[in-house]
């Protein structure tokens, strides 16, 4: 089966191993190899990649801002292409998003805001 | 059985969801100043939104995607951001108008000035979203929304000129103030064709797990629900033509609105109007806040769902909370709800080409819809109406502002 990277992968929905929404494919990383054709290595998930696609300077500024929020921040999460399968209408990844920085904002909001609102 | 119960509820939802501050105020203004002459705008807007709602339901059933999801996938992040930002800012204004509508309803009954009520109203809407479920919001508010049938009873009770009303169903040029006439006409179109409605509807279809058996019920809900909603708007226009026009009144202040029902029925009518305004606007407030949060969450691939606990979709829940707060601020600082309504409805009309054309492209994509893509008539109707409404709005908004100052 033929898969077109821009049409079938980029900007498509990711579902993790537990069935949770794990963001969209914000970027695709190719590896250039001397004397050999390029190879698809990762998909990137995260606002830094998204911001860079909209505007590189805005993206760089956003990445510096994001980097201040803690170690490991300031870059998007990379998922090896080998861990992705097509599962219409989405793409499935064989890892748990909650254990990656993909869910960092979700977990932070849950901890600092949602859990403090009564009966939530 | 359950599916047809769903159809009944869906129809009631559409009725409850159609009428709100935008359609009440613009229909009242149209009726006051041009009597029955603008009835065609309501009919045209209703046909357009019924077609769009049917399409968005069909899209969800056939593709298992919501519209926002598919827009990001199909057009990429750049093109997704354009309608997102545009629809977002205009919808925040519309949302503020709805919160203002609820606050005005409370002012009518208590006599305490509306900005005071903005925060409590927003808190009530937020509580419905935070602690409620999709079906509670949909069904409870919609059933209560049937109070708006009072406008139909009032219209018949006051004895309209049926012949003049029938003539008004076809577009004609006005005898006076053409720029103002077209401004009201596009405001009526903007109030009927609300882009948030089809984001809301397609998300609801996914949230309620509609399958292929829903193609038929979806058509029935769109046609009867939206049709009846338009019918209610025409009733408001008729009542306005019979209440304001003979007195030579224009609707320039929100305090003039209750006269629609207090003129035939006194104090009881006054309370019926306040009740109608309260329920329809609180319903629209919840729907718009949800629709915007759906669009953002789906566009960025987050967990979303009104039926999930807020702890399971914290980003989604915090998003509608922030949106509600932002809109509430406009009412707290005392922006006039009627002016806000007029402006936001006309801006909605101006934004229609950008909001709707990408949706039409999706509706013709076989990868999403298979054999269920749009027919040429539906495409043409939506294309012509949205582009014309957009152009007329862009021309008439500056003219209205110059003329009004």
Task: Write the ipTM.
Answer: 0.93
Task: Write out the two tokens for B379.
Answer: 């495409």
Residues A21-45: tens digit of each pLDDT: 999 999 999 999 999 999 999 999 9
Closest residue on chain A to B319 (Cα): A109
User: What distance in Å separates the CA atoms of residue B300 and residue A47, rounded to the nearest whole number?
Assistant: 9
Q: Which of A26, A45, A25, A32 is nearest to A86 (CA)?
A: A25
| CB-based contact A59:A51 (threshold 8 Å) | yes
In this complex, the residue of A10, A14, A105 whose CB is nearest that of residue B301 is A14
User: What CA–CA distance (Å, rounded) separates B93 from B254?
Assistant: 17
Cα–Cα–Cα angle for B75, A92, B369, nearest 5°?
45
Give the closest of A50, A89, A109 to B314, CB-based.
Answer: A109
Q: How far is CA A57 from CA A49, A54, B191, in A?
A: 12, 9, 39
Q: How far apart are the first and last CA of chain B?
A: 57
Q: How confident is the model at residue B405 (pLDDT cuts 50, 70, 90)?
A: very low
pLDDT by residue (tens digit) across B49-80? 999 999 999 999 999 999 999 999 999 999 89
CB B264 within 8 A of CB B157: yes
- The DSSP letter of residue B221 is I
Rounded-to-integer distance, Cα B288 and Cα B272, Å: 24
Chain A hits for B310, CB-CB cut-off 8 Å, are: 114, 117, 120
Q: Residue A108's CB: how many other CB atoms inside 10 A?
A: 14
- Binary contact (B76, A113; C-beta < 8 A): no
Give the pLDDT confidence score for residue B2 in this predicted structure. Answer: 63
A:31-90 residues touching chain B, CB 8 A cutoff: 45, 50, 53-54, 89
Question: Of all residues in chain B, what percent are helix, strand and coil, respectively (each to 5)?
Answer: 85, 0, 15
How many residues are present in chain A? 120
Residue A86's DSSP bridge partners are A91
Q: How many other β-carbons are positioned within 10 Å of the β-carbon of residue B211?
A: 9
- The distance of Cα A100 from the centroid of its chain, to the nearest Å, equals 10
Distance in angstroms (rounded) separating the CA atoms of residues B20 and B30: 15
- Cβ pair B215, B2 in contact under 8 A: no
> Does A11 contact B77 at a Cβ distance shorter than 8 Å?
yes
Residue B122 and residue B146: Cα distance in Å, rounded? Answer: 22
Dihedral (CA of B268, B274, B275, B276) sign: positive
| pLDDT tens column, B187-223 | 999 999 988 888 888 998 998 889 999 999 999 989 9
Q: Which residues of A touch B131 (CB under 8 A)?
A: 119
Sort out which chain A residues have CB atoms less than 8 A from B315's CB and list them.
Answer: 105-106, 109
Kindly identify which residue of chain B lies nearest to residue A50, measuring between CA atoms.
B77
CB atoms within 10 A of CB B178: 12
- Interval B90-104: pLDDT, tens: 999 999 999 999 999
Q: Which element (helix H / strand E) includes B71?
A: helix B67-110
Q: Calculate the average pLDDT of chain B.
A: 92
Contact assignment for B311 to A106 by CB distance below 8 Å: no
List residues of chain B with CB under 8 Å from any CB of chain A: 63-65, 69, 72-73, 76-78, 80-81, 130-131, 299-304, 309-311, 313-315, 317-318
- DSSP H or E stretch at residue A13: strand A13-15
Give me A48's structure tokens: 């830094």
Contact B158, B242 (CB under 8 A): yes
Backbone phi, then psi, for B169, in 5-degree steps? -70, -15
Residue pLDDT, tens place only, A56-98:
999 999 999 988 877 778 889 999 999 999 888 899 999 999 9
Q: Among B81, B302, B325, B358, which would you mutate to test the A interface (most chain A Cβ atoms within 10 Å of its Cβ)? A: B302
Across residues B335-364, what is the average pLDDT?
94
Using an 8 Å CB-CB cutoff, list chain A residues near B77.
Answer: 11, 26, 50, 53-54
**Chain A CB contacts of B73 below 8 Å:** 11-13, 24
Q: What is the pLDDT of residue B404?
A: 55
Task: Quickly count: other Cβ atoms within 10 Å of residue B404's Cβ.
Answer: 11
Chain A CB contacts of B80 under 8 Å are 11
pTM: 0.94
pLDDT band at B1 (very low <50, low <70, confident <90, very high): low
C-alpha pair distances (Å), B263 with each of B41, B73, B102, B159, B357? 25, 53, 21, 13, 43
- Chain A closest-CA separation from residue B296 CA (Å): 12
| B19 contact partners, CB below 8 Å, separation of at least 6 | B145, B148, B229, B232, B233, B236, B276, B280
Structure tokens at B293: 């949060």
Q: Residue A45: how many CB atoms within 10 A of its CB?
A: 25
**Among A101, A103, A115, residue whose Cα is nearest residue A20:** A103
């Amino acid at each position: 089966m033929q898969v077109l990277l821009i049409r079938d992968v980029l900007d498509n929905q990711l579902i993790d191993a537990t069935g949770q929404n794990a963001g969209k494919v914000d970027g695709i990383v190719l590896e250039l190899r001397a004397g050999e054709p390029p190879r698809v290595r990762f998909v990137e998930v995260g606002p830094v990649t998204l911001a860079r696609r909209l505007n590189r300077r805005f993206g760089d500024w956003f990445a510096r801002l994001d980097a201040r929020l803690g170690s490991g921040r300031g870059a998007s999460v990379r998922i090896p292409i080998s861990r992705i399968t097509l599962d219409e209408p989405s793409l499935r990844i064989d890892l748990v998003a909650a254990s990656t920085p993909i869910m960092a904002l979700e977990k932070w909001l849950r901890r600092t805001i949602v859990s403090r609102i009564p009966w939530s | 059985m359950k599916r047809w119960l769903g159809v009944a509820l869906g129809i009631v939802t559409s009725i409850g969801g159609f009428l709100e501050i935008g359609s009440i105020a613009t229909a009242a203004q149209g009726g006051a100043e041009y009597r029955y002459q603008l009835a065609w705008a309501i009919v045209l807007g209703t046909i357009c939104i019924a077609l769009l709602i049917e399409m968005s339901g069909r899209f969800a059933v056939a593709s298992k995607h919501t519209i926002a999801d598919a827009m990001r996938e199909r057009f990429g992040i750049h093109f997704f951001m354009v309608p997102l930002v545009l629809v977002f800012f205009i919808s925040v204004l519309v949302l503020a108008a709805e919160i203002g509508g609820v606050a005005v309803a409370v002012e009518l009954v208590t006599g305490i000035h509306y900005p005071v009520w903005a925060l409590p109203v927003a808190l009530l809407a937020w509580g419905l979203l935070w602690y409620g479920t999709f079906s509670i919001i949909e069904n409870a508010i919609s059933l209560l929304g049937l109070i708006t049938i009072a406008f139909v009873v009032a219209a018949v009770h006051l004895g309209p000129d049926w012949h003049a009303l029938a003539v008004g169903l076809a577009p004609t040029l006005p005898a006076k103030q053409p720029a103002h006439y077209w401004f009201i006409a596009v405001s009526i179109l903007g109030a009927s064709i609300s882009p948030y409605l089809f984001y809301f509807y397609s998300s609801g279809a996914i949230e309620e797990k509609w399958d292929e058996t829903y193609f038929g019920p979806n058509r029935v809900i769109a046609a009867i629900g939206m049709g009846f909603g338009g019918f209610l708007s025409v009733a408001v226009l008729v009542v306005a033509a019979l209440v304001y026009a003979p007195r030579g009144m224009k609707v320039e202040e929100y305090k003039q609105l209750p006269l629609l029902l207090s003129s035939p029925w006194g104090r009881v009518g006054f309370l019926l109007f306040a009740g109608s305004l309260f329920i329809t606007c609180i319903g629209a407030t919840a729907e718009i806040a949800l629709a915007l949060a759906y669009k953002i969450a789906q566009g960025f691939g987050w967990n979303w769902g009104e039926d999930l606990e807020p702890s399971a979709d914290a980003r989604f829940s915090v998003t509608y909370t922030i949106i509600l707060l932002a809109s509430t601020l406009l009412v707290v600082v005392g922006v006039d709800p009627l002016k806000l309504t007029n402006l936001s409805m006309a801006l909605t009309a101006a934004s229609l080409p950008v909001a709707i054309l990408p949706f039409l492209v999706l509706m013709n994509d076989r990868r999403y819809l298979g054999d269920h893509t749009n027919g040429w008539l539906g495409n043409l109707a939506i294309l012509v109406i949205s582009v014309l409404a957009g152009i007329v709005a862009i021309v008439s908004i500056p003219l209205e502002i110059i003329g009004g100052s």
